[in-house]
Amino acid sequence: MFYTPATELARSIRDREISAREVVQAHLDRIERVNPQVNAVVTLTAERALREAHAADERLMTGAYAGPLHGLPVAHKDTHETAGIRTTLGSPIFADHVPVRDELLIERMRAAGVITLGKTNVPEFAAGSHTFNPVFGPTRNPYDLGRSAGGSSGGAAAALACGMHPIADGSDMGGSLRNPASFCNVVGFRPSPGRVPSWPSVAPWSTMGVQGPMARTVADAALLLSVMAGPDSRDPISLETPGETFGRPLDRDLTGLRVAWAPDLGGRVPVEPVVNEVLGEAAKVFADLGCEVEEACPDLTGADEVFRTLRAWEFELKMGELADEHAGRLKQSLVHNIEFGRALTGPDVGKAEILHAALYQRVREFFERYDALLAPVSQVVPFAADLEYPDEVAGRPMIDYLEWMGSAYFISATGCPAISVPGGFTPEGAETPGLPVGLQIIGPHRSDLAVLQIAHAFEQATMHHTRRPAL
User: What pLDDT, in 10s, does the model give residues 252-295?
Assistant: 999 999 999 999 999 999 999 999 999 999 999 999 999 999 99
Known catalytic residue at 412:
no
pTM of the complete model = 0.98
Adjacent-strand bridge partners of 418? 190, 442
Instruction: Report CA-CA distances (Å) from 132 to 141, 185, 338.
Output: 12, 19, 19
Active site residue 420: no
Residue 164's pLDDT is 98
Q: What would the mean pLDDT of 184-204 be, rounded to a whole number?
A: 97
Question: Which pLDDT does position 166 carry in this prediction?
Answer: 98
**Residue 136 near residue 39, CB atoms below 8 Å:** yes
- Does position 37 have pLDDT exceeding 70, yes or no? yes
Task: Please provide the average confidence, as pLDDT, over all residues in the chain.
Answer: 97
Whole-number Cα distances in Å, 295 to 178, 266, 444: 22, 9, 17
Task: Look up 152 and say whether it is catalytic.
Answer: yes
Counting beta carbons within 10 angstroms of the beta carbon of residue 348, is it exposed (0 to 12), middle (13 to 18) or buried (19 or more)?
A: middle
pLDDT of residue 430: 60
In terms of C-beta density within 10 A (0-12 exposed, 13-18 middle, 19 or more buried), how is residue 337 classed?
buried
Provide mean pLDDT across the span 10-37: 98
What element of type H or E holds 286?
A: helix 273-288
Which run of H or E residues covers position 76? Answer: strand 73-77
Mean pLDDT across the stretch 330-352?
96
Choose, from 91, 129, 148, 152, the residue flagged as catalytic.
152
Q: Which pLDDT value is given to residue 433?
A: 80
* Active-site residue, selected from the candidate residues 19, 77, 206, 447: 77
Can you give the C-alpha Rg of the chain in angstroms?
A: 21
Helix (H) or strand (E) holding 161: helix 154-162
Residue range 84-93: mean pLDDT, rounded: 98
The stretch 99-124 carries a mean pLDDT of 98
Kindly indicate the confidence band of residue 432, based on its pLDDT and cuts at 50, 70 and 90.
confident
Residue 59's pLDDT band (cuts 50, 70, 90) = very high
- Rounded Cα gap, residues 194 and 356, in angstroms: 17
DSSP letter, residue 384: B
Measured torsion, CA atoms of residues 341, 344, 345, 349, in degrees rounded to the nearest 10: -80
State the Cα–Cα distance between residues 271 and 377, nearest whole angstrom.
Answer: 10
d(CA 89, CA 468): 29
Pick from 73-87, 141-155, 424-438: least confident: 424-438
Does residue 374 have a pLDDT over 80? yes
Distances (CA, A) of 310 to 151, 211, 313, 446: 20, 17, 5, 21
Average pLDDT score over residue span 405-424: 98
pLDDT band with cut points at 50, 70 and 90 for residue 1: confident
pLDDT recorded at residue 431: 66
Residue 344 φ/ψ, nearest 5 degrees: -65, 145
Comparing C-alpha atoms, which of 217, 241, 117 is closest to residue 465?
A: 217
Amino acid type, 117 = L
CATH 3.90.226.10 fits 6-466, yes or no: no
Q: Spot the catalytic one: 19, 148, 176, 420.
A: 176
Pairing of strands 187-190, 418-425: antiparallel
3-state secondary structure 166-201: CEEEEEECCCCCHHHHHHHCCEEEECCCCCCCCCCC
**Which residues, at least 6 apart from 347, have a Cβ–Cβ distance to it below 8 Å?**
none
* 242: Cβ contacts below 8 Å, ≥ 6 apart: 229, 230, 231
Task: Kindly give the pairing relationship between strand 372-376 and strand 258-261.
Answer: parallel
Average pLDDT over residues 355-375: 98
Per-position DSSP letters for 89-154, written without gaps between them: TT-GGGTT---SS--HHHHHHHHTT-EEEEEE--SGGG-SSS---TTT---EETTEEEEE--SSSH
